[in-house]
Amino acid sequence: MIDRVETGQARGPLTIDGAELRLVRLPLVTPFAIATGTMHEKLFPLVRLFSSGFEGVAEGVMDPLPDYLEETTAGAMDLLSTVLLPGIVGQSFANPQALARHLAPWRANHMARATVEMAFWDLWSRSLHLPLQTALGGSGDAIDVGVSLGLGPVDTTIGRVRDHLDQGYKRIKLKICKGHDIALVRAVREAFPEAKLTVDANCDYTLADSGLLAGLDDFALDYVEQPLAWDDIHDHATLQARMRTPICLDESIRTPAHARKALQSDAARVINIKVGRSGGHCSALAIHDLCAAFDVPVWCGGMLESGIGRAHNIHLSTLPNFTKPGDTSSASRYFHRDIVVEKLETVEGRMPVSKGPGTGVSLDHDFLATVSSDVRRFDR
């Protein structure tokens, strides 16, 4: 039984005294190419919530264009500033579940809602002087992590795989797309017969490609991530019946109901939980528990987050059913300089978990100011 802190009785409800929203732009160290396009920078809404001298922070994981899921940065900035943040400033919430219930009536917009919900979890766990990990019901001092390598030529990819295995990363995920799949995976598998390998197609295939996808069964992959459409659990069930390699769903799982349907229909034998994609930690915990009930392992995905989102992901990854390495690798792989003071770096493929209150990371305000625009305050 997971011992979760379900109430804020210790200090009573938290009243949101104020909120701040800003847009943050960070250049990426290496452009990141996936089936839907190439990212050169990370642009994201950053939300800060204030209550009784405490502060909670979170970032949104939506992209500028609706290429991963349907949400966009501009759309989220609008929803956050006109509806979600004005709707909670001045309101009191006994615990994160109460805040999640307040946000529940809104349709979709899971990433925008997650930004607010996650900031509240950070705020609430700080107010209780607990690490976020403890408030969520997790434990342990470090988590296993792998890396997600963007699309690239076969020879460069082999070099990058070697590099990351040498650094101790526990699993290598290769991005694939139509026309850049079997030959790539064969070459990497031949070069690294023992490596824990997975692939991620970001929805690039259809059921018409079942034969090709079943061909991936030859390469002892741990799983194939999101081969088919973002909104099609049913087709993934059909595909799973045609291949041995476990299917892992990412884009298709935005709610616990999506997870339940995927598990009931055998559309996913592994699930990638991204808290920022799924409406926040309450929903991520529900997905985690459902998967455990179906004996399906989960792992924590990433969206090239800054240290703020990365820290949330690290704490969530300490829950017991996160039994596969996550994508929460060293921040220095993504950014020359991060917006948090603490260095989130792996040691031999393990990411340490902060034991300070909340996420345990603090904003580097001087640097943050240089990469921020559109700063807005919401007061009572």
Catalogue the active-site residues: 175, 274
Burial classification of residue 167, based on how many CB atoms lie within 10 Å of its CB (0-12 exposed, 13-18 middle, 19 or more buried): middle
Does 20 contact ligand OSB by CB under 6 A? no
Site string for Mg ion, 316-355 (x = CB under 5 A): ----------------------------------------
- By a kind-dependent CB cut-off of 5 to 8 A, residue 148 interacts, out of Mg ion, ligand OSB, none, with ligand OSB
Does 79 contact ligand OSB by CB under 6 A? no
Site for ligand OSB in 140-199 (CB under 6 A): 148
Q: How far apart are CA 350 and CA 334, in angstroms?
A: 17
Q: Side chain identity at 307, as an amino acid letter?
A: G
Does 296 contact ligand OSB by CB under 6 A? no
Does 60 contact ligand OSB by CB under 6 A? no
- Considering only 68, 169, 205, 322, the residue that binds ligand OSB (CB under 6 A) is 68
The answer to whether the CB of 281 falls within 8 A of the CB of 96 is yes
Q: What is the nearest approach in angstroms of Mg ion to the Cβ of residue 67?
A: 12
Q: Side chain identity at 309, as an amino acid letter?
A: G
Q: How far apart are CA 152 and CA 260, in angstroms?
A: 35
Question: Which among 120-128, 284-292, 296-304, 347-355 is the span making contact with ligand OSB, rule CB under 6 A?
Answer: 296-304
**Residue among 231 and 364 whose Cβ is closer to Mg ion:** 231
**Residue among 92 and 255 whose Cβ is closer to ligand OSB:** 255
Q: What is the nearest approach in angstroms of ligand OSB to the Cβ of residue 312?
A: 12
Q: Which residue's CB atom is positioned nearest to ligand OSB?
A: 302
DSSP secondary structure string for all residues of 120-186: HHHHHHHHTT-BHHHHHT---SEEEB-EEEPS--HHHHHHHHHHHHHTT-S-EEEE-BTTBSHHHHH
- Considering only 20, 222, 250, 327, the residue that binds Mg ion (CB under 5 A) is 250
Site for ligand OSB in 209-228 (CB under 6 A): none
Q: What is the nearest approach in angstroms of ligand OSB to the Cβ of residue 69?
A: 9
Coil, strand or helix: which one is 258? helix
- By a kind-dependent CB cut-off of 5 to 8 A, residue 378 interacts, out of ligand OSB, Mg ion, none, with none
Q: How far apart are CA 235 and CA 228, in angstroms?
A: 7
- The rounded Cα 209 to chain-centroid distance in angstroms is 28
Q: Are strands 172-175 and 147-149 parallel, antiparallel or unpaired?
A: parallel
Coil, strand or helix: which one is 21? strand
Q: CA Rg, the chain, in Å?
A: 20
Q: What is the nearest approach in angstroms of ligand OSB to the Cβ of residue 48?
A: 22
**Residue among 14 and 213 whose Cβ is closer to Mg ion:** 213
- Considering only 202, 245, 317, 318, the residue that binds ligand OSB (CB under 6 A) is 202
Q: Are strands 142-144 and 350-352 parallel, antiparallel or unpaired?
A: antiparallel
Does 35 contact ligand OSB by CB under 6 A? no
Query: Residues near 136 by Cβ (< 8 Å), separated by ≥ 6?
Result: 4, 121, 281, 285, 315, 316, 318, 319
Question: Which among 51-59, 154-162, 242-250, 273-281 is the span making contact with Mg ion, rule CB under 5 A?
Answer: 242-250
Burial classification of residue 33, based on how many CB atoms lie within 10 Å of its CB (0-12 exposed, 13-18 middle, 19 or more buried): middle
- By a kind-dependent CB cut-off of 5 to 8 A, residue 239 interacts, out of Mg ion, ligand OSB, none, with none
Q: Which residue's CB atom is positioned nearest to Mg ion?
A: 250
Number of residues interacting with ligand OSB: please give it, by CB under 6 A: 11
Which residues form the interface with Mg ion (CB under 5 A)?
200, 225, 250
**Residue numbers at the binding site for ligand OSB (CB under 6 A):** 34, 68, 148, 200, 202, 250, 301-304, 327
